[in-house]
Amino acid sequence: MIVMNRTAFAIVLALSALVPGVAHAQLYPPGGVGAQPVIPFPTAPPAPPPPPIVVPTVPQMNSPPPFALQNTTPGRVVQDTPPKPVLKRDRRPSFSDRVARCLDDGAAWGLNPNQRAAYSRQCANQ
C-alpha cells in the first residue's frame, strides 16, 4: 500500500510538471508585476514659421506724392442752395421762459444778484 501511494504520488507529480497552466500563472512577465506597454505621448506639430519682417518705407518730405494721390483734373466748386432747416421753432418762447433762461445764464457766468437782474432784463427783451 505504501508502494502504491508512492507510485501514485510520483505519477501526480510528473503530470503536474507536464501541465503548464498552473505553473505559468504565477510567473511574472518581463518588467515586473503590472508592467504595461508604454504608449508614447503624441508629439506636437511643428511651430509655424514666423512672419517675415518688412521694413516700411518712410515718406520723404521733399518727394512728390504718389501718382494715385495726385489731382490730375482741376476741381470745381459748385455753389448750391443751402439746406432747409429741419427743425424750426414754431413760435418764440414766452417772456417768463426767456427771463428764467437769462437768469440761469447770468448765474452760470458768476454775476452777483444786481448784475444778474440787469442782464436778465436786457437779455429777455432781445
pLDDT tens across 57-78, in order? 887 777 666 666 666 666 665 6
- CA 124 to chain CA centroid, Å, is 56
Q: Does residue 113 carry a pLDDT above 70?
A: yes
User: Sorting pLDDT into bands at 50, 70 and 90, what band is 108?
Assistant: very high
Q: Residues 6 or more apart from 102 whose CB is under 8 A from it?
A: 119, 120, 123, 124
For residues 124 and 104, the answer to whether their CB atoms sit within 8 Å is no
Radius of gyration of the chain (CA): 54
Phi-psi region of 2 (alpha: psi -120 to 50; beta: other; left: phi over 0): alpha
Regarding predicted confidence, which is higher, 121 or 70? 121
DSSP state of 80: -
The pTM of this model reads 0.31
> What φ, ψ does residue 12 adopt, rounded to 5°?
-65, -40
Regarding predicted confidence, which is higher, 30 or 81? 81
Average pLDDT over residues 3-27: 65
Regarding predicted confidence, which is higher, 111 or 85? 111
Of 9-13, 46-50, 66-70, 106-110, the one with minimum mean pLDDT is 66-70
DSSP state letters, 13-75: HHHHHH-HHHHHTTPPPTTSTT--PPPPPPPPPPPPPPPPP-PPPPPPTTSPPPGGGS--S--
